[in-house]
Structure 1
Amino acid sequence: MTVSTQGMKVNWGSRTLRASVELLSSMRFSISLLTVICIASVIGTVLKQQEPLSNYVNQFGPFWAQVFNLTSLNTIYSAWWFLLILTFLVISTSLCIARNAPKILIDLSQLKENVREQSLKAFGHRAEGALAELPEVAARRIGQTLVQSGWKVKLQQRNTGWMVAAKKGTANKLGYIAAHSAIVLICVGGLLDGDMMVRAQMWLGGKSIYTGGGLISDVPSQHRLSDSNPTFRANLLVAEGTQSGTAILNQPGGVLLQELPFSIELKKFIVEYYSTGMPKLFASDIIIHDKETGDKVPVRVEVNHPAKYKGVEIYQSSFDDGGSSVTLKAIPMAAASKPFEIQGTIGGSSSLTSGAEKLTLEYTALRVINVENFAAGGNQGSGSGTDVRKVDLRQAIDTRLGAANKTVTQKELRNVGPSVRYKLRDAAGQAREFQNYMLPVKVDEGLDSPAVFLMGVRETPADAFQYLRIPVDAEGSMETFVRLRAALADPAQRELAVNRYASQAIGPDRPELIPQLAASASRALALFAGSGAPGPSSGNVKTAAGLEAISNFMEANVPEAERNRAGEMLVRILNGGLFELTQMTREQSGLKPLPQDEKTRAFMSQMVLSLSDAPHYPAPMAFELKDFTQVQASVFQVARAPGKTVVYLGCGFLILGIFAMLYVRERRVWVWLAPRQTDFTAESGNPIAVGGHPVSESTASSYATMALSTNRKTMDGDKEFEMLKTKLLQAPL
């Protein structure tokens, strides 16, 4: 039996209704729907789902963000058109099953023993032979042989002989029913676990999406779903030491609140790490409080090991900050700013004033563990360059063979300690995001290279952080940078440092050169501090500073042929003046002067770069993390999913169905046995040879015609036919 791609034909109703039923029940319509679902699923996999609209604006731009929102591509699996396609696919596939299943079931019970003996000669696999047995005896022997080989056999006696009909591999047709039933079950499970029930409650139960803010307890009842909701998948955030029994369902444009039949208390959130600093376990020790009985059930929830209570499964989805308190110290980045400390809570904000400018400091995140890759170009932090002339076959093979964690680019993972992330928002509502590390990080593996404090900034969440690197001083802080930046902005301090530098550089034997060197050093420090000429790119509004100001001065006042030599001289004078200014600030703070060695030279080189970049820092102050008290929170996904069992059942049917259709061949065999008087010789008129031995007219009692049909022509089918021909037609004479 072949399965038609045409739909079900009905003889009642209008022409439009008959055409609709035929289209819905046709296989081509089901395949079209499956294709659309596959394309939508690919989009849903590539495009992050249920993100805030601002994230799509930042990543793709306002036009595509609006397209995603209008077409629901950012919420594909709960989009009305996706659910509608699933519904039509269920209807179409069900009609296909209803149309073909009765025919298949009838075909399974039939051995087609009524086939005409003459039609057997039209089969591709056919054979003829003379047997010494009578037709009835041969038929029973052949039938018994087939039964012993697992065939289902039926014998039919006719006026002119005996027909043996047998079949094997009927599971192939059952595979068709199982595979199509699997599609229906999986789609039904998807509909049950989708937003159909939630939408039905919104349409019929008077529920609406909540778009406001505030406390969960203040949200009105029309935005809440009862704990008897048959299906939902929501998120629940619980901080350590607190409990909650109301989850949040994200919806386009807002949220719905889902009441749970219990509340979850988080005792402790646990993170365990490998020796590399990478996490290996996320777990939450919780207590489930039953709202009806008051029972308390302690449970541990781990990633991939959910807990289940009253039909609701609790998954460890992620983790967040539960309201950690932080102490920040303001680092002045503008002359008018002064250092100060401020305390806040993650998720909260503080108001600041910088001159006439009003700012809002928003505490957004605290990360205690930050694992970064410090491998130097695959050399595992060696810092050495790659010799392109070297061909080391042993090393090349070793990097690619062995343990699975070996790669051509090796990683050196290191925990660099806590970091704080915050936003500074101006009066117009515009904000920049900042990320500063608490501990200094040694980025360069050189022996004398200093560790640096990393202070990152980015304009939008789609951008990568750009870092200002401030070298750590001998006291393990960035106070030298703060003092030096303040002294650099003070003309009196600069003048004093210039005089000290000139006196030490010239010496007492040539005092007439001291004023000239002092003038050059004073000019260099003034340019570096931003007290020189305005930058050419700023329209004479903003004064250039740092190395940019030195470069602008050289281009404007020194001939091109002499710039290299003059530049080296000016930078040497600048470094000398800054070093003396650093020594002065340390003396004024009661600290020991820096020794003149390679370590100090590397420190001052990084300090010059930091001071040069500081004027470009887009805020009047940066905030250093001084102390914190961490409070962690777990984000649980709570789900009541009645469709999960249905989907699992459908997956089982799909596996069985595909296996049956691909690996089980349906075969049918017929053997027609006629007395020798009716048909003794073959078409050539010669006696038939059995097993290479001709059967004479005196010994032959019956004539056999055998045919085999299979749903797929394979080499296995050819071999099986030859084996059957040998076993069935070579009877002992």
Structure 2
Amino acid sequence: MTTTTAGIRPEPAPQRLRALLELVSSMRFAISLLTVICIASVIGTVLKQGEPLTNYINQFGPFWAGLFMAIKLNAVYSAWWFLLILAFLVVSTSLCIARNTPKILADLKSYKENIRENSLLAFHHRAEAQLAGTPEDQARRMGQALVKAGWKVRLQQRAGGWMVAAKAGGVNKMGYLAAHSSIVLICLGGLLDGDLMVRAQMWWGGKVPYNGGGMISQVPAQHRLSSANPTFRGNVLVAEGTASSTALLNQSDGVLLQDLPFSIELKKFIVEYYSTGMPKLFASDIVIHDAETGEKIPARVEVNHPVRHRGIEIYQSSFDDGGSSVTLKAVPMDGAGKTFEVKGTIGGTTELAKGEAAAEKMTLEYTGLRVINVENLADASGGGATDVRKVDLRASLDARLGAANKTIKDKNLRNVGPSITYKLRDAAGQAREFHNYMLPVDLGEGSPVFLLGARETPAEGFRYLRVPADENGALEGFLRLRAAMSDASLREQAVKAYAREATDPSRPELAQQLTLSASRALALFAGAEAVPGSKAQGGLLALSEFIEANVPEAERPRAGEVLVRILNGTLFELAQLSRERAGLQPLPRDERTQGFMTQAVLALSDAFAYPAPMAFELKDFTQVQASVFQVTRSPGHYIVYLGCALLILGVFAMLYVRERRLWVWLGAAGDGAHARMALSSNRKLMDVDREFQKLRDRLLGNQT
């Protein structure tokens, strides 16, 4: 039995390899890679990079947040697929250069003097003329003229005549090599200065991110990178009067600690402001302590003015709190608690026992202290304090696009003083965040108010409770009124005082009727009496629901006005009683008192929606500032600079330098020489026509 292989033609492996190399080194493959890189770069620019998972969940939801984390869209520029695409682009461009460089170099050396004389008739730019003198004399004359004009010339003697071959603009082809080489250099520089080196140490060096706590000096070696690490980018937080020699490199699942060959000591953090109160300058006076030589080098780091030492650049990235000490006063928002003071440091916590801030044990976390708060109060009545440090892109675009009318409002920037940010965390671990201003702010509503902000999650904006300041610029007047509203006996006295003042003593039946109405209104407002089926705890909402449940719809506006007037009167009498009990003078019946009471009514109503029984007022602080420095060792940026320079030179060479070749055949014709000239260029431009005319006139004269 025999076996035949007829009809089977196995494809040789070298042919497949050549096809693969042809694909990888092709222009369409490189353009496809560049397109993917551009799309990824856009995503990396629009989507905030390196944010915690909870931030993505709050903004996009759990599904999209999980997808972003799975495909590393939260860290595009260090994702494995992005680095792989960059590597393929480097390989593709390098292969393209390798394929075309021999051809380009050979073409640069070639003058193509062996072209046939009849082929010159096929060129678009051609001319013929009869010249006096021998072909050799004319060839040498033309060669010298072309050399003086900047051409490279080669003369060739043939049977029957001389060929003059010249070329100019060879830099055009060198521009091709420079532009393609620049892409390779820029990608290599980006890979070198990116996260590749750090990831390589994690893959093969046993380094793992650290996600625990404790002292930096106690972190094990597997979480640390050597000071000889060739490239890194991290942050160093240094408080005033302290020093640090360790940078933190953020990773998706923790941090890596980068040891530095020196320590940075922060002597003083400096911030200067414009007349509006906006920051003008951030700077840090530092001392660099060299670990090897012990040298102490004083320096100043400013924004966009880094300091360089041992190949590491130190940038002023931002600033933070360095552990400021604060004193807070707890003020009851339910009218039942007692005031007390707590002391702590920013970044620390205080345990609140039962009965202090709540019916259960809670933890007070001090999260932030801002000594300067520049707010836009141009339209304060429309929405409270506006943090001008936040950039609202949509609002900015809406203000500048659309109709031709001006929609940008004037700004009234004002420093409204210090503020404290803290969290109250319950026993289950759930926390609410609060932001309270230390000083009352005049929002143009009749009385300065204390702004007490609260929010449930970081994705939300703060909602501010506006508590009016008393005649001493303090919260005590409002707190006395809130406590008096919770006292049934004082409410009863206030109702009687209001009824006596508002009715004629000769008509006791009207006083009795007004007393019943005022007592009912004040009890509903204070939350002492509930509307059946209503969830309102008190305030104006309880009055509104009472009216809707008991008054016909046609009579509700009138009934509402009457009840609000009665409520305002009884609350004023309640405020006077609270001051009398505290041994203070009665409130005068003037415009300022009216503004205070108007704001107090609204604040008392809104206080029922305040998410905590206590608010913490900033009473005193000792600020300790800290600088956040970005430290980078980036040797690849020199490669990137070289690549950018080559890219500029290459693009200019390809766009603005024309490659031209000129041939002149000089054959014997009687006593003279017959000249046949042709010119070629890689681009058809009007300049080529003008140049050919000049060359024809110079070399051949006016004869054609």
Using the size of structure 1 for normalisation, the TM-score is: 0.88
| Structure 2 counterpart of 1:493 | 490
- Structure 2: 5+ residue stretches without partners: 1-10, 385-399
When structure 1 is superposed on structure 2, of 368-377 and 278-287 the one drifting more is 368-377
Once the two structures are TM-superposed, the CA of residue 181 in structure 1 deviates from its matched residue by: 0.8
- Residue 442 of structure 2 contacts residue 449 of structure 2 at CA under 8 Å; is this kept in 1? yes
Q: Following the alignment from structure 2 to structure 1, what is the Cα–Cα distance between the partners of residues 56 and 351?
A: 29
- Residue 381 of structure 2 contacts residue 443 of structure 2 at CA under 8 Å; is this kept in 1? no
Residue 590 of structure 2 aligns with an amino acid whose one-letter code is: D
Question: 2:555 is paired with a residue of what secondary structure?
Answer: helix
Q: Relative to 1, partners in 2 of residues 1:263 and 1:12: Cα closer, same or farther, differing over 3 Å?
A: farther
Once the two structures are TM-superposed, the CA of residue 452 in structure 1 deviates from its matched residue by: 1.2
| Structure 2 counterpart of 1:192 | 192
Once the two structures are TM-superposed, the CA of residue 134 in structure 1 deviates from its matched residue by: 4.0
Q: Relative to 1, partners in 2 of residues 1:378 and 1:732: Cα closer, same or farther, differing over 3 Å?
A: farther
Given the alignment, which residue of 592, 606, 624 partners 1:613?
606
| Structure 2 counterpart of 1:85 | 85
Q: Relative to 1, partners in 2 of residues 1:375 and 1:154: Cα closer, same or farther, differing over 3 Å?
A: farther
Question: 2:368 is paired with a residue of what secondary structure?
Answer: strand
Once the two structures are TM-superposed, the CA of residue 719 in structure 1 deviates from its matched residue by: 2.6
| Structure 1 counterpart of 2:627 | 634
Q: Relative to 1, partners in 2 of residues 1:118 and 1:706: Cα closer, same or farther, differing over 3 Å?
A: same
Q: Following the alignment from structure 1 to structure 2, what is the Cα–Cα distance between the partners of residues 465 and 573?
A: 33
Equivalent residue runs for 1:183-262 within 5 Å: 183-262=183-262
Given the alignment, which residue of 564, 571, 584 partners 1:578?
571
Question: 1:241 is paired with a residue of what secondary structure?
Answer: coil
When structure 1 is superposed on structure 2, of 704-713 and 463-472 the one drifting more is 704-713
Q: Cα deviation per residue 1:21-59 (whole Å; 9 max; x = unaligned)? A: 333322322222222111111111111111111111111
| Structure 2 counterpart of 1:706 | 677
Q: Following the alignment from structure 2 to structure 1, what is the Cα–Cα distance between the partners of residues 300 and 625?
A: 16
Residue 622 of structure 1 aligns with an amino acid whose one-letter code is: A
Q: Cα deviation per residue 1:87-133 (whole Å; 9 max; x = unaligned)? A: 22222211111111121112112222222222222222223333345
Once the two structures are TM-superposed, the CA of residue 621 in structure 1 deviates from its matched residue by: 1.0
Match status 1:95 vs 2:95: yes
Equivalent residue runs for 1:482-521 within 5 Å: 482-521=479-518
- Residue 240 of structure 2 contacts residue 269 of structure 2 at CA under 8 Å; is this kept in 1? yes
Q: Following the alignment from structure 2 to structure 1, what is the Cα–Cα distance between the partners of residues 667 and 115?
A: 15
Q: Relative to 1, partners in 2 of residues 1:549 and 1:315: Cα closer, same or farther, differing over 3 Å?
A: same
Residue 362 of structure 1 aligns with an amino acid whose one-letter code is: E
| Structure 2 counterpart of 1:561 | 554
Q: Following the alignment from structure 2 to structure 1, what is the Cα–Cα distance between the partners of residues 423 and 195?
A: 35
- Residue 131 of structure 1 contacts residue 731 of structure 1 at CA under 8 Å; is this kept in 2? no
When structure 1 is superposed on structure 2, of 354-363 and 72-81 the one drifting more is 354-363
| Structure 2 counterpart of 1:691 | none
Q: Following the alignment from structure 2 to structure 1, what is the Cα–Cα distance between the partners of residues 521 and 577?
A: 18
- Residue 334 of structure 2 contacts residue 482 of structure 2 at CA under 8 Å; is this kept in 1? no
Match status 1:342 vs 2:342: yes
Q: Relative to 1, partners in 2 of residues 1:88 and 1:707: Cα closer, same or farther, differing over 3 Å?
A: same
Equivalent residue runs for 1:413-562 within 5 Å: 413-444=413-444, 449-534=446-531, 536=533, 538=535, 543-562=536-555
| Structure 2 counterpart of 1:363 | 366
- Residue 371 of structure 2 contacts residue 418 of structure 2 at CA under 8 Å; is this kept in 1? yes
Residue 126 of structure 1 aligns with an amino acid whose one-letter code is: R
Once the two structures are TM-superposed, the CA of residue 257 in structure 1 deviates from its matched residue by: 1.0
Once the two structures are TM-superposed, the CA of residue 13 in structure 1 deviates from its matched residue by: 5.5
Q: Relative to 1, partners in 2 of residues 1:95 and 1:492: Cα closer, same or farther, differing over 3 Å?
A: same
Q: Following the alignment from structure 1 to structure 2, what is the Cα–Cα distance between the partners of residues 586 and 708?
A: 104
Residue 581 of structure 1 aligns with an amino acid whose one-letter code is: L
Q: Relative to 1, partners in 2 of residues 1:728 and 1:410: Cα closer, same or farther, differing over 3 Å?
A: farther
- Residue 322 of structure 1 contacts residue 631 of structure 1 at CA under 8 Å; is this kept in 2? yes
Once the two structures are TM-superposed, the CA of residue 14 in structure 1 deviates from its matched residue by: 4.3
Once the two structures are TM-superposed, the CA of residue 16 in structure 1 deviates from its matched residue by: 4.2
Residue 571 of structure 1 aligns with an amino acid whose one-letter code is: V
Q: Cα deviation per residue 1:195-249 (whole Å; 9 max; x = unaligned)? A: 2222222233222222222211221111111111111111111111111111111
Q: Relative to 1, partners in 2 of residues 1:367 and 1:295: Cα closer, same or farther, differing over 3 Å?
A: same
Once the two structures are TM-superposed, the CA of residue 521 in structure 1 deviates from its matched residue by: 1.1
Given the alignment, which residue of 642, 650, 655 partners 1:657?
650
Name the Cα RMSD after superposition. 2.4
| Structure 1 counterpart of 2:174 | 174
Q: Cα deviation per residue 1:666-701 (whole Å; 9 max; x = unaligned)? A: 122222233335xxxxxxxxxxxxxxxxxxxxxx93
Structure 1 runs (4+) deviating above 4 angstroms are: 11-16
- Residue 362 of structure 1 contacts residue 424 of structure 1 at CA under 8 Å; is this kept in 2? yes
Q: Relative to 1, partners in 2 of residues 1:375 and 1:662: Cα closer, same or farther, differing over 3 Å?
A: farther
Question: 2:361 is paired with a residue of what secondary structure?
Answer: strand
When structure 1 is superposed on structure 2, of 553-562 and 163-172 the one drifting more is 163-172
| Structure 1 counterpart of 2:394 | none
Residue 568 of structure 1 aligns with an amino acid whose one-letter code is: E
- Residue 269 of structure 1 contacts residue 285 of structure 1 at CA under 8 Å; is this kept in 2? yes
Q: Relative to 1, partners in 2 of residues 1:142 and 1:592: Cα closer, same or farther, differing over 3 Å?
A: farther
- Residue 377 of structure 1 contacts residue 409 of structure 1 at CA under 8 Å; is this kept in 2? no
Q: Following the alignment from structure 2 to structure 1, what is the Cα–Cα distance between the partners of residues 208 and 34?
A: 32
Q: Following the alignment from structure 2 to structure 1, what is the Cα–Cα distance between the partners of residues 570 and 420?
A: 35
Q: Cα deviation per residue 1:519-571 (whole Å; 9 max; x = unaligned)? A: 11111111111122247453xxxx43111111111111111111111211111
| Structure 1 counterpart of 2:395 | none
Q: Following the alignment from structure 2 to structure 1, what is the Cα–Cα distance between the partners of residues 38 and 248?
A: 29
Q: Relative to 1, partners in 2 of residues 1:116 and 1:435: Cα closer, same or farther, differing over 3 Å?
A: same
Once the two structures are TM-superposed, the CA of residue 64 in structure 1 deviates from its matched residue by: 1.2
Using the size of structure 2 for normalisation, the TM-score is: 0.91
Q: Following the alignment from structure 2 to structure 1, what is the Cα–Cα distance between the partners of residues 346 and 524?
A: 41
Match status 1:669 vs 2:662: yes
When structure 1 is superposed on structure 2, of 425-434 and 141-150 the one drifting more is 141-150
- Residue 534 of structure 2 contacts residue 545 of structure 2 at CA under 8 Å; is this kept in 1? no
Once the two structures are TM-superposed, the CA of residue 484 in structure 1 deviates from its matched residue by: 0.8
Residue 587 of structure 1 aligns with an amino acid whose one-letter code is: E
Q: Following the alignment from structure 2 to structure 1, what is the Cα–Cα distance between the partners of residues 214 and 234?
A: 19
Q: Following the alignment from structure 1 to structure 2, what is the Cα–Cα distance between the partners of residues 149 and 592?
A: 103
Residue 728 of structure 1 aligns with an amino acid whose one-letter code is: L
Once the two structures are TM-superposed, the CA of residue 15 in structure 1 deviates from its matched residue by: 4.5
Q: Using the aligned pairs only, state the percent identity.
A: 69
Q: Following the alignment from structure 1 to structure 2, what is the Cα–Cα distance between the partners of residues 535 and 667?
A: 96
Residue 596 of structure 1 aligns with an amino acid whose one-letter code is: R
Q: Following the alignment from structure 2 to structure 1, what is the Cα–Cα distance between the partners of residues 456 and 544?
A: 27
| Structure 2 counterpart of 1:599 | 592
Equivalent residue runs for 1:299-338 within 5 Å: 299-338=299-338
- Residue 283 of structure 2 contacts residue 301 of structure 2 at CA under 8 Å; is this kept in 1? yes
Once the two structures are TM-superposed, the CA of residue 463 in structure 1 deviates from its matched residue by: 0.9
| Structure 2 counterpart of 1:386 | none
Q: Following the alignment from structure 1 to structure 2, what is the Cα–Cα distance between the partners of residues 558 and 409?
A: 43
Equivalent residue runs for 1:31-70 within 5 Å: 31-70=31-70
- Residue 378 of structure 1 contacts residue 409 of structure 1 at CA under 8 Å; is this kept in 2? no
- Residue 12 of structure 1 contacts residue 18 of structure 1 at CA under 8 Å; is this kept in 2? no
Question: 2:301 is paired with a residue of what secondary structure?
Answer: strand
- Residue 358 of structure 2 contacts residue 613 of structure 2 at CA under 8 Å; is this kept in 1? no
- Residue 315 of structure 2 contacts residue 630 of structure 2 at CA under 8 Å; is this kept in 1? yes
Residue 149 of structure 2 aligns with an amino acid whose one-letter code is: S
Question: 2:451 is paired with a residue of what secondary structure?
Answer: strand
Q: Following the alignment from structure 2 to structure 1, what is the Cα–Cα distance between the partners of residues 532 and 346?
A: 40
When structure 1 is superposed on structure 2, of 265-274 and 109-118 the one drifting more is 109-118
Once the two structures are TM-superposed, the CA of residue 280 in structure 1 deviates from its matched residue by: 1.3
Q: Following the alignment from structure 2 to structure 1, what is the Cα–Cα distance between the partners of residues 579 and 638?
A: 72
- Residue 521 of structure 2 contacts residue 543 of structure 2 at CA under 8 Å; is this kept in 1? yes
- Residue 365 of structure 2 contacts residue 424 of structure 2 at CA under 8 Å; is this kept in 1? yes
Question: 1:515 is paired with a residue of what secondary structure?
Answer: helix
Equivalent residue runs for 1:128-143 within 5 Å: 128-143=128-143
Number of residue pairs the alignment of both structures matches: 672
Question: 1:356 is paired with a residue of what secondary structure?
Answer: coil
